[in-house]
Amino acid sequence: MAKVTKNDDLRSLIREMEDKQESHSSAATPSKSGYVSVEEAADILELEPNAVRKMMRRGEFRTSRIGRRKFIHADDVKNYHEKAAVEEEARMADPKRLLTVSEVAYQLRFSEAQVYDMLNKKILLGFRIGAGAGSWRVQKSDLNEYIVSQRERSMGK
């Protein structure tokens, strides 16, 4: 039985990374070695590579250095992605959350101009925050009430 050394592991990882670069495989798929590059992690997490590097410096990911490059453990990236999805879902579900005009427009599949018009005509409840004219905000519960009222109205209730 051959003795496996850390150098053998590093050589195989380097070969795998070189093969991956040559074959141009998908950036969102973790490598067989269990490591992903900063760029691959950024693609998976939908972040900028510099944001991933900052997270690495803060110790949010376990890393391994190969030559001059650092690679991130794929499990850490997967766990972070799952945790972020759960937190975002919980944050979006909060009925007291304040939404921006662009968030309201996205949820209603309207243009921002339509949402501004609804706010100015008081069809949708909202308020301004900030100095001067301020920025509009809509409470999540008010948006939900508007959606329910529109649904009931269209069903003839």
The string of pLDDT tens digits covering residues 100-139 is: 999 999 999 999 999 999 999 999 999 999 877 789 999 9
Computed on alpha carbons and rounded to an integer, the radius of gyration of the chain in Å comes to: 24
Tell me if 108 sits within 8 A of 144, measured CB to CB.
no
Task: Give the residue extent of every domain in the chain.
Answer: 6-85, 98-154
Among the ranges given (4-13, 21-30, 51-60, 129-138), the one the predictor scored with the smallest mean pLDDT? 21-30
- Choosing among 1.10.3470, 1.20.50, 1.10.1660, 1.10.10, the CATH entry for 98-154 is 1.10.1660
Is 13 a residue whose pLDDT tops 70?
no
Q: What is the pLDDT of residue 14?
A: 66
- For the chain, how many residues are written? 157
Question: How far apart, in Å, are the Cα atoms of 68 and each of 64, 71, 128?
Answer: 10, 10, 50
Residue 109 to residue 126: CA distance in whole angstroms: 18
